[in-house]
Structure 1
Amino acid sequence: MKWLEMSTENCTVQRTLDLVGEKWTLLILRDAFNGVRRFDDFRHHVGVSEAVLAGRLRKLVAAEILYTVPYQEQGSRTRHEYRLTRKGRDLWPVLVALRQWGETYVADPEGPVLDIRHSACGAPVHVVVECSGEHGALTPVEVTVLPGPAARRHT
């Protein structure tokens, strides 16, 4: 079965984009990875409206990408911080890959906004697609894509 013969209705890329493929969602996740936890901090830093932010946070919590932790400042009502779950933390390579692509093709002429380095050795961090064998980094022309067990014919 060739790609154009396959249905895309159960495509995992499409399912992933349904959860995190919207601009504001990715920016919220970017900030969560950089330590932002509170609603007002997300709103001010990302520049998103309260209604959109509330909706995106609800969706990320419902999808178990974020979870909430209650906190209360003296004299105020109980509020919630938003923290990444393991499922959420597993999106980190996706954001690093987006950043890496952006630094290559749409970077600020002054250089990167963030310099991501390995804490132990100080080397820059980057994302690669690699073979689980001994072949290291791969390009798209070096791989074969075959239908998986969930592949269905396009009708």
Structure 2
Amino acid sequence: MTKALGRDSTCSIARSLEVLGDSWTLLIIREAVVAHTTRFQDFRDALGIAPNILTKRLALLVDEGLLERRTYRQPGERARDEYVLTEAGRSLSLIIAALADWGRTHRPRPDGTSPRFSLDESGTVAELAFVTSDGAVVPPHALTAHRTEDARLGIPA
């Protein structure tokens, strides 16, 4: 029997990749999370992406509930749409942070840049880590992953 991929998969990673598996999509999310980009032209300028591809990716992100389309109007200009992260979209900051950390570690460049995440109120830098329920930080090499049913993790369907 073949395994279902994408939206119908029982695998949470495959379901996520159905939405996020394209590099342009993740780069759009990066711009929204790190640079607080919301406008079509600003995404184009930052990414150098073709307008037809950007249009398709933004529509996907809106349809999947990661971005919300809002209309705005500059004085004297026509109404335009901007794309604002939803709670689901903001939660992808963990993915962006993990990709940045991996890239810094395993694909370093002397001229590279990376996002740094910090608390809004204090500016205290936040680090990405696996943490046990009692607060202990665990290095990735000390972990073992096991397939576990979402229902056993307390995640509603």
Query: Which category of TM-score, normalised to the shorter sequence, fits these structures?
Result: 0.7 to 0.9
Q: 1 or 2 for the larger relative contact order (CA 8 Å, sep ≥6)? A: 1
Deviations 1:93-141 (A, max 9, x none): 1101100111111122145344444455555432112222343224254
Secondary structure, in 3 states, of the residue corresponding to 1:42?
A: helix
Which range moved further: 49-58 or 142-151? 142-151
Alignment match, 1:54:
55
- Please list every run of 5 or more consecutive structure 1 residues that lacks an aligned counterpart in the other structure: 1-5
* Rounded Cα–Cα distance in structure 2 between residues aligned with 1:118 and 1:149: 30
Letter in 1 for 2:99: L
Q: Which structure has the greater CA radius of gyration?
A: 1
* Rounded Cα–Cα distance in structure 2 between residues aligned with 1:43 and 1:99: 21
Alignment match, 2:30:
30
- Please list every run of 5 or more consecutive structure 2 residues that lacks an aligned counterpart in the other structure: 153-157
Letter in 2 for 1:87: A
Following superposition, the deviation at residue 17 of structure 1 comes to 0.8
CA contact (8 A) 2:100 2:115 kept: no
Alignment match, 1:41:
42
Identity of counterpart residues, as a percentage?
A: 30
Following superposition, the deviation at residue 70 of structure 1 comes to 0.5
* Equivalent pairs, count: 146
CA contact (8 A) 2:104 2:114 kept: no
Q: With structure 1 as the length reference, what TM-score do the two structures score?
A: 0.80
